[in-house]
Amino acid sequence: MKRPLRLLTAAGLMLAASLAAVGGGTAQANTQICDKYGSTTIQNRYVVMNNRWGADTPQCINVTSTGFAITAEHHKATNGAPAAYTAMYLGCHYDACSPGTNLPMRLSGIRSATSSAGFAYPDSGVYNVSYDVWLDPAPNTHGTNRQELMIWFAKRGPIHPVGSRVASATIGGRVWDVWSGFNGSSDVVSYVARSPMTKWSFDVMDFVDDVRTRSKVTTAWYLTSIQAGFEPWVGGTGLAVTTFSAAVSAGVRTPHGSPSPSRSLAPSRSAAPAPTSAAPSASPRSAEPASPDPAATSPAPAAVPTSGDRQSGSVGWLVLGAVVVVLLLARGWLWTRRRRGPQPG
């Protein structure tokens, strides 16, 4: 009888270990980054970077399993460069590539570049809420790319994109003010939403298709990275990316719908020229304040199961197997006891 008892004990220990694995497999501790150019990876897919390139003011980010939140009190002049471009991204940025990325990829070989992001931002401070997309004539992962494409979901305070407003366009079913300029190292085309958004799902290639009509970009150029985050000038605490996803698929592109013909505008005489900067992601701006409107949202896509979800599923099968073993052993032991009768200890 000692052997069945040992087997039952072993099975029980295996069951306990399996339950412990289930409890600890999904636990994730937050990571705080305060280093000026500090970064980390999440979901084994994206890079999160502090990237406080434009200020000496302290700034920290609290990184979670789905995004990050900023803690900072910047005091930058709004007619110059921002304090930072703090973001998470897919692709390559200054030699730091996200795990398993297929970027850079030639534009002619991209079928789609779908992305989704959710943002939270306060009613104070001066900042923009933006995507930063980088393009280059070569598969450049090392330094500044030749073309910057910005998509402003929202802005607050007297800031505007680099350059001047040149047109309006309808892309992804939304109307955008289009700005064009040069930041000292890269050409920049920016799209500013007419009403603020807190989340949106879209195809980045719809904007790339439009940029090709306004710049030197051709289908022989490369998409290097897709980034989502913030450029703060004043304040910073409360800015957060709550969710982010991006996926670039190779193949023959079938546009979801060509951008509507743009209405060209004469350069605004009231807009002061923005200073230039050779630093990465430097896009000095100046514009009218815009109050965030949380109602102007669109649903984010369902979350893709992560490796943690798959691990939890495997552990669940292990637990079930252990329970079956325990039940079978217990049944065999009881059957033996009935057949042989009471045994001496």
| H/E stretch holding 33 | strand 31-33
Does the annotation count 231 as an active-site position?
A: yes
Strands 68-75 and 222-236: antiparallel
Active-site residue identified among 61, 121, 133, 148: 148
Lowest-pLDDT range, 90-94, 108-112, 337-341?
A: 337-341
Buried b (16+ CB within 10 A) or exposed e, 54-66: bbeeebbbebbeb
Are 186 and 76 members of one domain? Answer: yes
Are 19 and 54 members of one domain? Answer: no
Are 14 and 125 members of one domain? Answer: no
Indicate whether 310 belongs to any domain.
Answer: yes
Does the annotation count 148 as an active-site position?
A: yes
pLDDT at 30: 86
Integer Cα distance of 147 and 135 in angstroms: 5
Indicate whether 115 belongs to any domain.
Answer: yes
Q: Is residue 180 very low, low, confident or very high in pLDDT (cuts 50, 70, 90)?
A: very high
Q: pLDDT: is 61 or 18 the higher one?
A: 61
What does each C-alpha distance from 85 to 30, 33, 231, 342 come to in angstroms? 21, 14, 5, 77
Indicate whether 301 belongs to any domain.
Answer: no
Lowest-pLDDT range, 21-35, 70-84, 265-279?
A: 265-279
Are 326 and 241 members of one domain? Answer: no
pLDDT tens digits for 257-269?
555 555 555 443 3
pLDDT, mean of residues 331-344:
49
pLDDT at 53: 97
Tell me the CATH number at 81.
2.60.120.180
Are 109 and 192 members of one domain? Answer: yes
- Cα angle 20, 26, 27; round to 5: 85
Q: pLDDT: is 11 or 135 the higher one?
A: 135
Q: Which domain holds residue 137?
A: 44-264
Are 65 and 129 members of one domain? Answer: yes
Indicate whether 110 belongs to any domain.
Answer: yes
Active-site residue identified among 132, 203, 206, 231: 231
Indicate whether 287 belongs to any domain.
Answer: no
Are 50 and 22 members of one domain? Answer: no
Of the three residues 209, 242, 264, the one that is the final residue of a domain is 264
pLDDT at 254: 83
